[in-house]
Amino acid sequence: MSIDITRAEVCVVACAEAFRGDGEILANPIGTIPMIGGRLARESFEPDLVMTDGEALLVANPMAVAADGADRVVESWNPYRAMFDVVWSGRRHVMMGASQIDRYGNQNIAFVGGWDRPKVQLLGFRGAPGNTINHATSYWVPNHSPRVFVERVDVVTGVGYDRAAKLGAQAARFHRIPCVVSNLGVFDFETPNQTMRLRSVHPGVTVDDVIAATGFELTIPEDVADSRLPTPEELHLIRDVIDPTDARSREVAA
Amino acid sequence: MARDKRMSEDDVVAEIDDGMVVGIGGWGSRRKPMSLVRAIARSSLRDLTIVSYGGPDVGLLCATGKVAKVVFAFVSLDSIPLEPHFRAARESGRIKTMELDEGMFLLGLTAAAQRVPFLPTRVGLGSDLLAINPSLRTVFSPYEDAEEFVAMPALSLDVALVHMNRADAGGNGQYLGVDPYFDDLFCMAAEKRFMSCERIVGTEELASGGCVHSLRINRLMTDGVVEAPWGAHFTSCLPDYDRDEAFQKEYAAAAADADKWAAFRARYVDITHDDYVAARA
């Protein structure tokens, strides 16, 4: 790895890549690095993406992360009520977090333990059931560990591929999990039984590191690629335009 | 001239009974009718079911023992992702819940507002929402596709509480921030509807105070209006004021133990709204 490219910057590019080919849809990355990644995708290879300011406005220019919004160019209005119309129309790709995720991509952000009296109350179901049954949902995990990548999630908030298969082709026709990006690598579900596969490891990470940090058996291809590095132009966009305050390094340490 | 619907926080509380289903507008820690919420917290009311895109409204009512059940998709302080008072109530097992997806919640309010028993959606299929809510049913499309959907039941409310930037005495309300949230829908889904506002103005001032699209609440939707400057504090009520993050931190920290909570409660809850406005600074 080039000495001055950070892990966080590799993660930004991996998140950007999640939106490649999406065209004119609402790209809705949640989290600091996904947000930088989404904005990077739009400023480079995916210019038709539609993005929010994190609240009710759709913003046309590459707002800096953590900026006050004074320089934003508002292209439209998207209050919460309109957001659900977008979700149900399918013209959206969200990248959500996951407190737990299993080999089929079932996600949990609601609670740990039993639902009547959880050991730990987490965020709640939020929009996960609606997102995953209506449009593409990718995941971002900044702290890859066996506590997150688990054999079984305590409760399914976001629908995974085994649950989708059980629903049948008609009911699950809009379900898709393009990828999972973590601080260690990139994962997809392009296996015969749609279980999680290691697609690439970030520079400096070994396949064994990933296996050790994962609580279930991953599909490991014979040749695992390295996640790609940012181009000089992408580095410029990340460092000087989208994230000049280096918020990315507070989410994933160098 | 429409009738005058002005009343006080205590008048609103007097309209609520034990065990009622109370819907609260706003979203997370944004434009919550906090002066009404604190009035309920001070009252003898109990066993309420709270229906909310939850924030400190839910946490405060849980912490003051008013809540039997919460219908929610999240309970968050936004800048503090987990509402600590709600979290404590959940982990103690002392409240019941109906946990939903955010969009299903909107469909439930819409069904109640339209007076239909349910609305169909594919939201919930495949997730554990149906497992943890055994009362949720599915329906099949009567058309050729014969597809199965979740039948999201109407979330009918006994009472709705919302907060607006401006209102007139007749019960027309105006939001001046960027998002109306679902306040009109809460009102339409409820039997009794109460709106607090930052300032009551003459009806003729409403349309000049913001574009006509900001007139989201009309008097068909309201039974009472409470003038409550700083009524949403410490949640945001833009453009009148933003969230008071320092105050919110103090509120969240008070969840740590009973003594801290008792002190917070004495200082900020068990007092009138006027005293609260003075104490908050």
Structure confidence by residue, pLDDT tens digits, A52-86: 998 899 999 988 887 777 788 999 999 999 999 99
Nearest to B201 by CA among B210, B189, B209, B212: B209
Nearest to B181 by CA among B25, B58, B13: B25
Confidence of residue B98 (pLDDT cuts 50, 70, 90): very high
User: What local confidence, expressed as pLDDT, does residue A116 receive?
Assistant: 87
* A140 touches A13 (CB < 8 A): no
Pair of tokens at residue B4: 């005058």
User: What local confidence, expressed as pLDDT, does residue A62 receive?
Assistant: 87
Amino acid (1-letter code) at residue B169: A
Nearest to B229 by CA among B250, B251, B201, B253: B201
Pair of tokens at residue A230: 């940012």
Structure confidence by residue, pLDDT tens digits, B11-67: 999 999 999 999 999 999 999 999 999 999 999 999 999 999 999 999 999 999 999
The rounded mean pLDDT for chain A is 96
The rounded mean pLDDT for chain B is 97
User: What local confidence, expressed as pLDDT, does residue A66 receive?
Assistant: 75
- Nearest-CA distance from A222 to chain B in Å? 33
User: What local confidence, expressed as pLDDT, does residue A67 receive?
Assistant: 76
Question: Quick one: closest CA in A to B73, which residue?
Answer: A126
Interface check A169 vs B, CB under 8 A: no
Across the interface, whether the CB atoms of B126 and A166 are under 8 A apart is answered: yes
Interface check B127 vs A, CB under 8 A: yes
Structure confidence by residue, pLDDT tens digits, B146-155: 999 999 999 9
Q: Residue A4 above 60 pLDDT?
A: yes
The DSSP-derived string for A210-237 is: HHHT-SSPPB--SSPEEPPPPPHHHHHI
Segment B80-91 mean pLDDT:
97
Domain boundaries, chain B: 9-100+156-280, 118-153
Segment (H or E) for A120: strand A118-121
Nearest to A156 among B99, B127, B178 (CB): B127
Segment (H or E) for A139: strand A136-141
Surface-to-core class of residue A119, CB atoms within 10 Å of its CB (0-12 exposed, 13-18 middle, 19+ buried): exposed
ipTM score assigned to the predicted complex: 0.95
Nearest to B101 among A120, A129, A164 (CB): A129
The DSSP-derived string for B86-115 is: HHHHHHHT-SEEEE--HHHHHHHHHHHHHT
Structure confidence by residue, pLDDT tens digits, B166-182: 999 999 999 999 999 99
Nearest to A87 among B91, B103, B182 (CB): B103
What region does B124 belong to: left with phi over 0, alpha with psi -120 to 50, or beta? left
Confidence of residue A3 (pLDDT cuts 50, 70, 90): low
Surface-to-core class of residue B211, CB atoms within 10 Å of its CB (0-12 exposed, 13-18 middle, 19+ buried): exposed
Enter the pTM of the model.
0.96
pLDDT above 70 covers a percentage of chain B that reads 100
Structure confidence by residue, pLDDT tens digits, A86-123: 999 999 999 999 999 999 999 999 999 998 899 999 99
Structure confidence by residue, pLDDT tens digits, A143-188: 999 999 999 999 999 999 999 999 999 999 999 999 999 999 999 9
Segment A190-210 mean pLDDT:
97
What region does A225 belong to: left with phi over 0, alpha with psi -120 to 50, or beta? beta
User: What local confidence, expressed as pLDDT, does residue A65 receive?
Assistant: 85
Nearest to A226 by CA among A57, A1, A73: A1
Confidence of residue A1 (pLDDT cuts 50, 70, 90): very low
The C-alpha atoms of residue B175 and residue B167 are separated, in whole angstroms, by 9
User: What local confidence, expressed as pLDDT, does residue A63 receive?
Assistant: 81
Pick the CATH number of B9-100+156-280 from 3.40.440.10, 3.30.450.20, 3.40.1080.10, 3.20.20.70: 3.40.1080.10
* A53 touches A25 (CB < 8 A): no
- Nearest-CA distance from B110 to chain A in Å? 11
* A246 touches A179 (CB < 8 A): no
User: What local confidence, expressed as pLDDT, does residue A246 receive?
Assistant: 96
Identify each DSSP E strand in chain B by its residue range. 21-24, 48-52, 67-72, 96-99, 118-121, 137-140, 148-153, 157-167, 173-174, 190-200, 224-227
Structure confidence by residue, pLDDT tens digits, B182-239: 999 999 999 999 999 999 999 999 999 999 999 999 999 999 999 999 999 999 999 9
User: What local confidence, expressed as pLDDT, does residue B28 receive?
Assistant: 98
Interface check A152 vs B, CB under 8 A: no
Amino acid (1-letter code) at residue B25: G
Class of domain A7-20+95-251: alpha beta
Across the interface, whether the CB atoms of B132 and A155 are under 8 A apart is answered: yes
* A207 touches A220 (CB < 8 A): yes
Interface check B147 vs A, CB under 8 A: yes
List b or e across A192-201, with b for residues whose CB sees 16 or more CB atoms inside 10 angstroms: eebbbbbbbb
Domain boundaries, chain A: 7-20+95-251
Nearest to B201 by CA among B242, B165, B230, B232: B165
Surface of B (189-248) touching A: CB under 8 A: none
The DSSP-derived string for B200-244 is: E--HHHHHHHS-GGG--B-GGG-SEEEE-TTTTTTSBBTTTB---
User: What local confidence, expressed as pLDDT, does residue A247 receive?
Assistant: 96
